[in-house]
Amino acid sequence: MIASPQFVFFPGMFHPFIRTFLGYYFYDQFKFLDHQKLKSHLVSFNPEGTLRANALHIKHELLDRSEIVAVCHSKGGLDLLHALIIHPELRPKFKSIIFVQCPFYGTPLADLATWNNFTKTLMQFFFFLGLSDDISTLLELRQDRRRNYMATHKDDIADLVRLIPMKCYASVKHPRAGQFDSLLRIPRDVMLYGFKQPNDGMIPRDSAFIPDVESITLEDVDHLSCVINFTTQSVNRADFSSKVFTEHLANLK
């Protein structure tokens, strides 16, 4: 049994693609923990998979681990939440969970991507790079489905909140007139001006909060800035990591 505490990271969708073309996922977080001589581990699973498939994979990968401090980005947080709901035997393994930009209540981008057969066909090619014709994950990220999910599992989620210390981080990327201020500017503007939802380019701010969990909003930060080394550091990832991890460890003593 691997004890510690140990930081276990749950990446979001497309992290293999991001790692290949944009930069190493969680680089600054891993670097910070390494300097502190703290153990870290990146969970390996198909981030484009369904919640049920990924929950089963998470269960198997965590069998020999304990004293876990989980760090979840984007859909990785939904995968872990579902694993803890349907596999309650995993719950004692966790000391705490840090959720960063996780779409608990979905995203309008998924609504648009699954609007009709034409948009679904486009997503089968572009969103999954032609590698899969299964858009089940996109359907799971629709706002109506996520609202229903959170309502259906509200008692389990409340139990988890009481049992495991948690913290949720959301972010908002503010538009700058006349500037291409983010790689995610177009989807950010679609959600901000079309749906009136402040967001980070992928996730509406309010979607990233779990009821009764301490919630923090990072200002002028897009969905990539916290985790990808390639992007402009509108948030200093090293400082962010230091603050989050140091506070979390202090709260566990």
pLDDT in tens, 178-215: 777 788 898 899 999 999 999 999 999 999 999 999 99
pLDDT digits (tens, 9 = 90+) for 17-52: 555 445 577 888 888 888 888 888 999 877 778 999
pTM (predicted TM-score): 0.88
Low-confidence ranges of the chain (pLDDT < 50): 1, 3, 20-21, 118, 122, 125-126, 128-132, 234
Q: d(Cα 95, Cα 252) in Å, to the nearest integer?
A: 7
The answer to whether 202 and 109 have CB atoms below 8 angstroms apart is: yes
Residue 179 has what pLDDT?
Answer: 77
pLDDT at 181 (0 to 100): 78
Confidence (pLDDT) at 194: 92
State how far the Cα of 230 lies from the Cα of 22, in Å rounded to an integer. 5
Domain chopping of the chain, boundaries: 6-252
Do 139 and 148 meet the contact criterion of CB atoms below 8 Å apart? no
Look at residues 57, 63, 92 and name the one whose alpha carbon lies nearest to residue 76.
57
Nearest to 195 by CA among 73, 99, 106, 120: 106
Q: The domain at 6-252 falls in which architecture?
A: 3-Layer(aba) Sandwich (3.40)
pLDDT of residue 252: 57
Tell me, what's the pLDDT at 160? 98
